[in-house]
Amino acid sequence: MNDAGDRRRVQRAALRVGAVVGIGSAAVLTGGVAILVTVLLAGGRPDDAHDHGGPSGAHGGDGDRFVIDVDHVLPWVIGLGIVGVLLLAIVAWFGARRAVRPLEGALRLQRTFVADASHELRTPLTALSSRVQLLQRRIARGEDPGSTLAALREDVAVMDDVLTDMLLAAEAGQSSGTAIVSDAVSAAVRTVTPLADDAGVALGVRSAAGQAAATGDVRARIPTTTLTRLCVALLDNAVQHAPRGSEVEISTSAEGDRIAVRVIDAGLGIAAQDVDRVFERFARGPEAGRRRGFGLGLALVREAATAAGGSITVERTSPAGTTFLLTLPRG
C-alpha cells in the first residue's frame, strides 16, 4: 500500500479509537452518576426540622430539603470513584489496542515481506556465488570468461526482476500480465543450473507428448517474472531433495483452459501427514535437504499461484520421488 493509503488507514483507526474511548467514557460517567444519585435518594431523609421549625415553618415548609448521612454515602462515593477509574482504564486499554492494530498489521506485513524477499533472492544469490567461483577458476586457467560474465549479468537481472515483482505485488496486491510458459521455464532452468551442477543433479525439460508445438508459445495469465520465480522455487526444492546422480524434470502441458507445470524429482518422497503441511509457512519436513531451508518456498508458490487463479498440489509422492503440479489459467 502507498503512503496515502497508509495515512487513510491511520486516520480511520484514530476516528474509531476516539469514538470508542468517548462512548466508553460517557457510559462509565453516566452509570456512575446514576448510581450515586440513586444512593443519595435512597439514603436521604426529609429535613423535617428545617421544614417545621425553621424560618420557613410558618409557611408550611418547601418539602424539598433532604438530610444526607455522610457516613453512609462516603463509602459509595469512594467505591464508585475506584470502580470508575478502573473502568476508564479498561476503556483506555481497549482504545490503545485498537490504536496500535494498524501498526501491528504494518509490522507483520513488513516482516513477511522481508522474509519472503530474502527467501526469493536466496536461490539466485547462491547461483551467483557459484558462477563467481566458476569465473575465478576460468580466469586462473587462462580461459575466456565471456560466457560466465554474461551468465552473471543474467543472474543479477533475475535478482532485480524478482525484487521488483515482489515490490509490485506488495504494493498492488497482485501484478498483471501474461507469460510465455516456455520462456519462463527456460529462465528458471538457467538460474537453477549452477545449484544442480553443485549437487550432481541433472535438469531435464520436457513437453507432453504431441504438445511441444502447442506449449512452445502458449501464455499463462501470470507475469513472466512471477512464473519464473515459481518455477525456480519448485526446481530448487526438487534439487535440494534429489539424490546425487539423479534427474529433476520440469514438464509443461496445455490442458484445456489451464497450463500445467510439473516438477518431478527422485527424492525420498513426502510423508502422508506432510502432503498438505509442506505448503504452510515455516513448515519443514524431517529431511531438510542439502541446504538449510526455512519452510517458505512452497508457501510462496501457493500464495502466488492462488493470487493468479491457479493452484499447486502434490500430484504424486512415494519413496521413488515426488511430482508437484502447478496449474495456471491460460493467458
What is the distance between the alpha carbons of residues 246 and 126, in angstroms, rounded to a whole number? Answer: 21
Query: What are the pLDDT digits (tens) for 121-169?
Result: 777 777 788 888 888 888 888 888 888 788 788 778 777 777 777 766 6
Three-class SS string for 202-225?
A: EEEEEECCCCHHHHHCCEECCCHH
Residue 331 pLDDT? 79
User: Is there a contact between 237 and 195 (Cβ–Cβ < 8 Å)?
Assistant: no
Q: What residue ranges define each of the domains in the chain, with the CATH number in brackets?
A: 3-110 (no CATH), 174-329 (3.30.565.10)
CA-to-CA separations, 51 to 41, 42, 44, 58, 120, in angstroms, rounded? 18, 20, 15, 9, 89
Query: What are the pLDDT digits (tens) for 229-266?
Result: 899 989 989 998 899 999 999 999 988 899 999 999 99
Q: Which residue has the cell 491460460?
A: 330
Query: What are the pLDDT digits (tens) for 152-161?
Result: 887 787 777 7
CA-to-CA separations, 103 to 16, 113, 125, in angstroms, rounded? 15, 15, 32
Asked if pLDDT for residue 309 goes beyond 70, the answer is yes
Asked if pLDDT for residue 36 goes beyond 90, the answer is no
User: Is there a contact between 288 and 282 (Cβ–Cβ < 8 Å)?
Assistant: no
Query: What are the pLDDT digits (tens) for 173-220?
Result: 555 788 899 999 998 998 888 889 888 999 999 865 444 444 457 899
By three-state DSSP, how is residue 308 classified? Answer: coil
